[in-house]
Structure formats: structure tokens, C-alpha cells
């Protein structure tokens, strides 16, 4: 049976719908309450509902054979997995943002709030810009409003979170979308079923 790690939350249902349309539906998925494992013996798949930021960890450590995860997580964690498909869902951009009217003082160390410490370090290293990072786990937009940092590095989709908090995009530097990933050993030993899933999922990409 193939173990599939699905991200709980905003991506989860979209991803499940895509898998179901590809022929890998699982009875009971939509009746979920606190259940974290769903099996379809008929389709030979088992779904594991995990936190979005844990999907690649399950796959890399072979607790799941395949998974669906945002490119932001793969970049941040440097996951050692095969990235098989760009599913063209969960689309957003990684961006630097600051309060409206913010003007950067290039002589000072820039204070940056983010969930994405590694992505942020790499981005500013590429610019030779000295930074202090404050790692937060959510509501990143609050940090510059309270003077905790100068700017944030975060995901932007519609831009409404920024607008409603009087922030503006300074620079968008990376497109993000959901990826179908596989464990390297699984890809070798379960190649037929994973390749079949990949072909059927590819047909569902819009
Ligand atoms: N506003 C957004 N629009 C589109 N895609 C997004 C948006 N925010 C996040 N994503 C994508 O969806 C994935 C899951 O995001 P979600 O907000 O559900 O999880 P999270 O709350 O960041 O995760 P965790 O609870 O593990 O911290 C992200 O990794 C990213 O790829
Ligand atoms: O451009 P928008 O369409 O407004 O989307 C961007 C928002 O979505 C994500 O937040 P999420 O909902 O995951 O909340 P959190 O970061 O506070 O967990 C991201 O961190 C932004 O805050």
C-alpha cells in the first residue's frame, strides 16, 4: 500500500480533489473529524494528514512514500526527496514587505521577521546585506507594525493581508506552488505505482 502525506489546511482539500480526480479517491475522506489516516484498500493507497511543514519530513524519512508540499517548504528545509511534478495549485509568491512609507537605511543591519529563515538568509546573502532574523510562526505581518522588525519575508497570494495591515510589497523574488514529491527509495522500489500516479496526476494539472 502506498502511503501518501497530505498537507492539512488550505492545500489539503485541493490536493485530495486532484488525487480523487486522478482515480485515487478514498471513501470517508470528507467525513474526517480528528482522524489522521484514511485507507482505500481498493486503490491501494493510504492517506496521512500531516501539518504542511511536516510533509517533506515524512517523505524524506520514508514514513510516507509520496506527498504533496509547497515549494516554500522544500526550499526552506532543503529536503532530500525527488520532486516529480509541479501541480500548479497553491500558487503564491515569496516576497519582502514593509509598512507603507518605509524607506530602508542601508547603513543599518536590516531586521527581518519570517517563518522562512533559510530562504531569507540565502536571499540577503545574495545581496550582501547584513540582517538580523526574528523567526516567527505565523501572523508575520504584525512584526513591522509593532516595530519588532523593519521588514518581513513571507508568502503573498492576493495581497489582501498586506493591504489590510498597511504593508506594501518591496520585492517578490520566488514563485511558489505545490509539488508532488517521492521518497528516493520508494521511487526505486515502488516505481510502477508511483509512475502511474504521476501520469494520472499530470492529466489533472490545469
Ligand atoms: N496565502 C496563500 N495562498 C496560496 N498558497 C499558500 C498561501 N499560504 C500558504 N500557501 C501554500 O500552502 C502551504 C500550506 O500553507 P498553510 O497556510 O495551510 O500552512 P501553514 O499554516 O503555513 O503551516 P503550519 O501550520 O505547518 O505552519 C504553504 O506551504 C504554501 O506553499
Ligand atoms: O496575500 P494573501 O492572499 O493575503 O495571503 C498571504 C497570507 O497567507 C499566509 O498566511 P496564513 O493564512 O497561512 O496565516 P499565518 O502565516 O498567520 O499562519 C501568509 O503567511 C500571508 O499572511
What's the 161 CA to ligand 2 centre distance in angstroms?
7
Query: For residues 158 and 91, is the Cβ–Cβ distance under 8 A?
Result: no
Ligand 1 neighbours, Cβ below 6 Å, are 7, 9-11, 51-53, 70, 72-73, 90, 92, 155, 157, 176
Residue 33 has a pLDDT of: 81
Residue 30 has a pLDDT of: 84
Placement of cell 521577521 in the chain: 113
CA dist., res. 81 & res. 59, Å (int): 7
Q: Could you list the pLDDT tens digit for every one of the 206 residues in the chain?
A: 999 999 999 898 899 999 999 999 888 888 878 889 999 998 899 999 999 999 999 999 999 999 999 999 999 999 999 999 999 999 999 999 999 999 999 999 999 999 999 999 999 999 999 999 999 999 999 999 999 999 999 999 999 999 999 999 999 999 999 999 999 999 999 999 999 999 999 999 99
ipTM associated with this complex: 0.96
Q: What pLDDT does 27 receive?
A: 81
- Find where cell 516554500 sits: 72
Q: Whose CA is nearest to atom 6 of ligand 1?
A: 90
Residue nearest to atom 16 of ligand 2 (CA): 138
Alpha helix (H) residue ranges in 67-158: 71-77, 117-125, 142-145
Query: Edge-to-edge, what's the strand order for the sheet holding 37-40?
Result: 37-40, 45-50, 2-7, 66-70, 178-182, 82-86
Q: What is the pLDDT of residue 130?
A: 98
Q: How close is the Cα of 155 to the center of ligand 2, in Å?
A: 6
Supply the pLDDT for residue 88.
98
Task: Report the alpha-carbon distance of residue 28 to residue 163 in Å, rounded.
Answer: 39
Through-space distance between the first and last CA atoms of the chain, rounded to whole angstroms: 28
Rounded CA-CA distance 32/47 in Å is 12
Q: What confidence score (pLDDT) does residue 29 get? A: 83
What SS3 state is found at 120? helix
- The two beta strands, 82-86 and 151-156, are unpaired
DSSP string computed for 4-67 = EEEE-STTHHHHHHHHHHTT---TTGGG-SS--EEEETTTTEEEEEE-GGGHHHHHHTTSSSEE
The kind and range of the H/E element at 78 are none
Q: What pLDDT is stored for residue 191 in this prediction?
A: 97
User: Grid coordinates standing for 63?
Assistant: 514514513
User: In this structure, how many other beta carbons lie within 10 angstroms of the beta carbon of residue 126?
Assistant: 9
Amino acid at each position: 500500500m502506498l502511503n501518501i502525506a497530505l498537507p492539512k489546511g488550505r492545500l489539503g482539500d485541493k490536493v485530495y480533489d486532484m488525487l480523487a480526480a486522478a482515480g485515487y479517491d478514498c471513501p470517508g475522506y470528507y467525513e474526517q473529524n480528528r482522524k489522521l489516516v484514511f485507507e482505500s484498500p481498493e486503490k491501494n493507497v493510504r492517506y496521512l494528514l500531516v501539518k504542511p511543514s511536516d510533509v517533506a519530513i515524512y517523505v524524506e524519512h520514508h514514513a510516507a512514500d509520496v506527498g504533496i508540499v509547497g515549494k516554500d517548504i522544500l526550499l526552506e528545509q532543503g529536503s532530500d526527496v525527488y520532486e516529480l511534478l509541479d501541480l500548479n495549485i497553491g500558487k503564491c509568491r515569496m516576497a519582502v514587505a514593509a509598512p507603507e512609507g518605509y524607506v530602508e537605511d542601508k547603513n543599518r543591519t536590516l531586521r527581518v521577521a519570517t517563518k522562512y529563515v533559510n530562504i531569507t538568509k540565502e536571499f540577503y546573502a545574495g545581496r550582501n546585506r547584513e540582517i538580523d532574523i526574528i523567526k516567527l510562526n505565523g501572523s508575520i505581518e504584525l512584526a513591522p507594525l509593532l516595530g519588532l522588525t523593519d521588514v518581513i519575508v513571507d508568502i503573498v497570494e492576493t495581497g489582501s493581508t498586506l493591504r489590510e495591515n498597511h504593508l506594501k510589497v518591496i520585492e517578490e523574488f520566488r514563485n511558489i506552488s505545490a509539488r508532488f514529491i517521492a521518497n528516493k527509495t520508494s521511487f526505486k522500489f515502488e516505481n510502477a505505482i508511483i509512475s502511474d500516479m504521476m501520469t494520472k496526476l499530470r492529466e489533472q494539472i490545469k
